[in-house]
Amino acid sequence: MSRALNFLALLLLALPLFGAAHAGEAAKPAIIIANPGTQCIAPPEEMRRNHMEMLKHQRDRTLRLGERSARVSLNGCIECHASKTSGAVTGSNENFCQACHAYAAVKLDCFDCHQPKAGHKAAVASGEPQ
Amino acid sequence: MTAPDNKRRNFLAAAGAGAATLAIAPGINLIRVSAADEPQTKLASGKVRWGMLVDTTKCATGCDACVSACHQENGIVEEVEDPRQRSQWLRKIDLVEQGTGRQHSLPMMCQHCAEPPCVDVCPTGASFKRADGIVLVDRHTCIGCRYCMMACPYKARSFVHEPLTTQNPEVPRGVGCVEGCTFCVQRIDRGKNPACVDACPEAALVFGDLNDENSAIAKKLKEVASTQVRADLKLDTGVRYQGI
C-alpha cells in the first residue's frame, strides 16, 4: 500500500516536468504585424482575449438591428490583417486568424460563411460591379 | 409574430444599471432605462416598411437583368452541378393565361411578408423579421432544417448544399444554411436601392417605404391596381405586382 502511495506521489511530482518538456514542441504562431504605424480598435492583450465576444455581440446588432459601420467589424479585421501575400486571413498557418487558432486548437467557423479575403470592400461600398 | 414583451427585461436592465426612478405613489415607481444603452448609429426603424412594386406589363420575357444583378451583388456563382440545388434568391417566371393565351413574365422572390410563415415555423429563431419589415435568415443560428423552405408559399428560399468561396464580404453565406432575398439589406442600410431595382432596363421595379405617403411606391400604389400573390393567405406581402 505504502509503496503504491510513494509511486503516486513520485508521479505527481514528475508531472510538471513532463508538461514543461511538451510545451516546447508546439511552435509559437508567427504573427506578422498588420500595418505598422496603424492602431487596432483595442490593445493586443484585450483583442487576444476578447475579440470573439466583441464580434459575437456586434454580429447580432448588425444583422438584426441593421447597425452598419460599427467600431467592431469582422470585415474591418480582415481589411487590416489579411496576409500581404495571399490576401486572406485563413488558408495557411501563416495567415493571421488561422495562425493562432491552429496553435490554440480552436475551430474557426467564421469563414464557412464570411469571405476571408480582403480587397472587395471598396468595390461593394461604391456599388460598382466587381 | 408580435414583438417580444420587454417589460421584464427593461425592469431588470433598469435595476442593474441604476436607472432614474420616479415614485408616483407609495410602492409604485416609474422606471426609465438608462440612455447609456441607446444605439449610436442609425438602426432599422419600425416606422419604415420596405416594399417593392413590380410592373409586369413592362417586365420583358427572356430578360434576366435583375437575376444577374442579384447574383453579382450577393456573390452567387452557379458552380453546383445539380440545377435543383442552386441558390435562387430571385427567379424569372413566365405565365400564360389559359383561354386567352396572354403571356407575361415576372420576377419572383421573397415577398417580405408582414406575417411571414417562415418565421413562425423556425425552431431556432434564425428566421426573423427586421423592424423595417425585411425578412432575413440569421445564419449564426440556422441549423439547416429547411422547415422555412417548406412553409414558404412562394418557394423563395434555397439551401446551400456545398461549401462556398465566392461570397461578397458584405453578404456572408455558407453551406448548411437556408437563404433567400434580403432586399439587398446591405445596400438599403446605406440608402441605396436593391441591386435588381437599379438593374432593370425597363424600370419595372419600384422600391421604397410603404408607410411613407410621399414615397414613389406609395404614390404609385395609390394610383394603379396592384395584387399580392396568394392574397388569400393574408400574409400582407411587401412585394406587390401590377398587371397580373
The pLDDT value recorded for residue A129 is 46
The pLDDT value recorded for residue B33 is 47
Percent of chain A with pLDDT over 70: 73
The pLDDT value recorded for residue B135 is 98
Nearest C-alpha of chain A: how many angstroms from B101? 39
Which residue among B44, B169, B185 sits closest to A121, beta carbon to beta carbon? B169
Which one-letter amino acid corresponds to residue A21? A
ipTM (interface predicted TM): 0.77
Which residue among B138, B164, B176 sits closest to A64, beta carbon to beta carbon? B138
The pLDDT value recorded for residue B153 is 97
Buried b (16+ CB within 10 A) or exposed e, B47-84: ebbbbbbbbbebbeeebbbbbbbbbebbbbeeeeeeee
Collapsing DSSP to helix, strand or coil, B133 comes out as coil
C-alpha cell at A28: 509559437
* Residue contact A127–B187, C-beta within 8 A: yes
Q: Is B128 on the interface with A (CB under 8 A)?
A: yes
In degrees, to the nearest 5, what angle opens at C-alpha A121 toward C-alphas A118 and A125?
180
Collapsing DSSP to helix, strand or coil, B158 comes out as strand
Nearest C-alpha of chain B: how many angstroms from A8? 47
Which residue among A65, A113, A125 sits closest to B172, beta carbon to beta carbon? A113
Distance separating alpha carbons of residues B222 and B143, to the nearest angstrom: 41
To test the contact with chain B by mutation, choose from A59, A68, A81 the residue with the greatest count of B C-beta atoms within 10 A, namely A68
DSSP per residue, A52-79 = HHHHHHHHHHHHHH---S-SS-HHHHHH
Collapsing DSSP to helix, strand or coil, A71 comes out as coil
Nearest C-alpha of chain B: how many angstroms from A107? 15
Q: Give every CB contact of residue B79 below 8 A, 6+ residues apart in sequence.
A: B162, B166
Tell me what the mean pLDDT of segment A120-126 comes to.
47
To test the contact with chain A by mutation, choose from B71, B119, B166, B189 the residue with the greatest count of A C-beta atoms within 10 A, namely B189
* Residue contact A66–B189, C-beta within 8 A: yes
Handedness of CA B88, B89, B92, B95 (dihedral sign): positive
Contacts of B168 in chain A (CB under 8 A): 115, 120, 124, 130
The pLDDT value recorded for residue A130 is 40
Pairs across A and B, CB distance < 8 A: 71
Distance separating alpha carbons of residues B201 and B64, to the nearest angstrom: 10
* Residue contact B173–A113, C-beta within 8 A: yes
The pLDDT value recorded for residue A6 is 64
10 Å Cβ neighbour count for B162? 12
pLDDT digit string (tens) for chain B, length 244 residues: 455 566 666 655 555 554 445 556 665 655 554 444 444 458 999 999 999 999 999 999 999 999 999 999 999 987 788 989 999 999 999 999 999 999 999 999 999 999 999 999 999 999 999 999 999 999 999 999 999 999 999 999 999 999 999 899 999 999 999 999 999 999 999 999 999 999 999 999 999 999 999 999 999 999 999 999 999 999 999 999 999 8
Distance separating alpha carbons of residues A75 and A116, to the nearest angstrom: 9
CA B163, chain centre distance (Å): 24
Each residue of A44-84: pLDDT tens digit? 999 999 999 999 999 999 999 999 889 999 999 999 999 88
Domains and CATH numbers, chain B: 7-37 (no CATH), 50-242 (3.30.70.20)
Which residue among A63, A66, A124 sits closest to B138, beta carbon to beta carbon? A63
Tell me what the mean pLDDT of segment A85-97 comes to.
89
Distance separating alpha carbons of residues B205 and B239, to the nearest angstrom: 10
Q: Percent helix, strand and coil across chain A, each rounded to 5?
A: 55, 0, 45
